[in-house]
Amino acid sequence: MALKIWLNGKLVDESAAKISVFDHGLLYGDGVFEGIRIYSGKIFEHQAHIDRLYDSSKGIRMEIPMTKSQMMQAVEKTVQTNGIVEGYIRLIVTRGIGSLGLNPFLCESPGIIIIADSIQLYPEELYEKGLKIISATTVRNHPLAISPQVKSLNYLNNILAKIEALDSNVPEAIMYNHIGYVAEATGDNVFIVRKGVVYLPPVEAGSLEGITRGVVISLAQAEGIKVVEKNLTRFDLYSCDELFLTGTAAEVIGVVEIDSRVIGDGKPGPITKLLREKFYKYAHGK
Ligand code: PMP
């Protein structure tokens, strides 16, 4: 069935959901977005996603012409209209229609798009076996240039690393920052486990402050597991007991090999499994 898309205040048919070629979201990647899950008909961590969207927007000096609560209502309405129970929301705010020049202040008003659809997940088998990944040579954007905390419409940095992964026949790649510390994966945050302690890079190392990352930190702490933010090197990934990634689409997924080095005993480890299970229960309200 064709979807109804929220486009600038109206729900329109998918076939009519078109935007201008002069939209700076397209011309310059000038805009921000969110990817949000729907579990059992409920929007997962809705407030946190909306807060991050507005922070991203502030980071690029763009004022969203809706209050946060209006935005949340628009998202709810789009989900309900499409009758999505298990799915994914793509919420996009573009700079809007402008001229061919860079000047964002010549753009009329930000464009708002909300798509609620089903989601293509990693097959269950990959969660049981774990992922094989590589280290990308593409360096993560310098965190003091455009902050990776801004979830912007320009994903070229991550896409170049993703291409490296796909060229190596693996689905993900670790990106390192300009100093050489682990930043994140192309669309996920990175965690390791060593001697029962969970370590992860601070966001200042150059990662998006993942909503899943935040939930997983809390779930680990609630289990009495120590969680430490610290810069991680490639050696830390090679020598850890467990490695896992977190993200809206992937949730919690174990990594069992990186750059052909086997991690732990080559299977997703016990803490990874525990946190995946706890995450599942939390997401489904159990
Ligand atoms: N880093 C990047 C670059 C991402 O695109 C994502 C997915 N949106 C994440 C991390 C994970 O963030 P979240 O848990 O909010 O999906």
* C-alpha of 14 from chain center: 24
Q: Note the pLDDT tens digit of each residue in 56-88.
A: 999 999 999 999 999 999 999 999 999 999 999
C-alpha to C-alpha distance for 90 and 113, rounded to whole angstroms: 8
Q: Quick check: CB of 78 below 6 Å from ligand 1?
A: no
243: β partners: 192, 255
What CA–CA distances, in Å, run from 50 to 70, 119, 203? 11, 20, 19
Please give the CATH number for the structural domain made up of 124-283: 3.20.10.10
Residue nearest to atom 10 of ligand 1 (CA): 188
Pocket of ligand 1 contains residue 35 by CB under 6 Å: yes
pTM exceeding 0.85: yes
Question: 192 - beta bridge partners?
Answer: 199, 243
Long-range interactions of 179-182: CB distance < 8 A, separation 24+: 180/233, 180/234, 181/205, 181/231, 181/232, 181/233, 182/231, 182/232, 182/233, 182/234, 182/236, 182/237
Tell me what pLDDT residue 159 has.
98
CATH number of 4-117: 3.30.470.10
- Whether the pLDDT of residue 22 is over 90: the answer is yes
178-192 pLDDT, tens digit per residue, is: 999 999 999 999 999
Nearest CA to ligand 1 atom 5: 187
Ligand 1 within 6 A of CB of 184 = yes
Instruction: Let me know if 4 is a catalytic residue.
Output: no
Q: Whose CA is nearest to atom 4 of ligand 1?
A: 187
| Ligand 1 neighbour 188 (Cβ under 6 A) | yes
Q: Where in the chain is the domain with CATH 3.20.10.10?
A: 124-283
Pairing of strands 251-258, 10-13: unpaired
**Residue 84 CA to chain centroid, in angstroms?**
20
Neighbours of 184 (CB within 10 A): 28
* Number of the ligand 1 atom closest to the C-alpha atom of 151: 5
Q: Place 239 in a pLDDT band, splitting at 50, 70 and 90.
A: very high
Distance 172 CA to ligand 1 centre (A): 13
Any idea what the Cα angle at residue 131 is, between residues 151 and 248, rounded to 5°? 30
Annotated catalytic residue: which of 132, 151, 162, 278?
Answer: 151
Note the residue count of the chain: 286
pLDDT in the model for residue 286: 82
What are 154's two structure tokens? 């320009």
List the alpha helices (DSSP H) in the chain: 24-28, 46-59, 68-81, 124-129, 156-167, 211-222, 234-239, 270-283
Which residue, among 252, 241, 259, has the nearest Cα to 196 in the 3D structure? 241
Q: Position of tokens 């930000």? A: 110
Alpha-carbon distance of 223 to 213, in angstroms, equals 15
Name the residue at shortest CA distance from atom 2 of ligand 1: 187
pLDDT in tens, 131-172: 999 999 999 999 999 999 999 999 999 999 999 999 999 999
Predicted confidence at residue 1, as pLDDT, reads 75
Q: What are the residue ranges of CATH 3.30.470.10 in the chain? A: 4-117
Helix, strand or coil for residue 24? Answer: helix
